[in-house]
Structure 1
Amino acid sequence: MAIISALAVYFVIWWLTLFVVLPIGLRTQEEDHDVVLGTVASAPTRFRAFRVMMTTTVVSALIYGGWYVASAYFGISVNDLPRILPEFRK
């Protein structure tokens, strides 16, 4: 696989993992009973950007590594997934 393709796949995995990691450990202002005037109660009390980015990077690297091993060493690809819709032939 070309390096650009590998980076594109990793970026997609990283971006999807980010949305999974974001709510982990989140404490809202409402939970801490400290709602700042002008913000919504569901806003985070402290946003830990570095922790979220590092966790996302590590988890997505593990997922990408698993995908790479499955595709490079075992030959598993997207074509091995079952088809839901039948193929149309002319």
Structure 2
Amino acid sequence: MRWQSMLAIYILFWAFSVFLVLPWGVRTAQEAGAELVPGQAESAPHGFRPGLIAIRTTIVATALFAVFLLNYIFGWVTADMLDWVHRS
């Protein structure tokens, strides 16, 4: 696999992982014991930390990509194994 393909696939894993990581550790202002800002929804997260989200996302994406790459190298699961229509 070319490095450009690997980079593109890693970026896709990273973008997908953001949505997995975003809900981790989210607390509302009430749960954090803070006052609501006028006009703020009660369900709004308290203390958004994009750096922590980026670090967590990178860790999750790297782990998922490593499993993908190892599967590509060793062929644990192939397209032929998943083809239920033409299986005899």
Fold-level similarity (TM above 0.5): yes
Offset at residue 14 of structure 1 (A): 0.8
Q: How many residues align?
A: 85
Say which SS state the counterpart of residue 70 (structure 1) adopts: helix
Q: Whose helix fraction is larger, Structure 1's or Structure 2's?
A: 2
- Higher RCO structure (Cα 8 Å, ≥6 apart): 2
| CA distance, structure 2, for counterparts of residue 41 and residue 4 of structure 1 | 44
User: Where does the alignment leave 5 or more consecutive residues of structure 1 unmatched?
Assistant: none
Offset at residue 45 of structure 1 (A): 0.9
Offset at residue 26 of structure 1 (A): 0.6
1:64 aligns with 2:65: yes
TM-score normalized with structure 1 length: 0.79
Runs (4 or more) in structure 1 with deviation over 6 Å come to none
1:75 aligns with 2:87: no
TM-score normalized with structure 2 length: 0.80
Identity percentage over the alignment? 32
Offset at residue 80 of structure 1 (A): 4.0
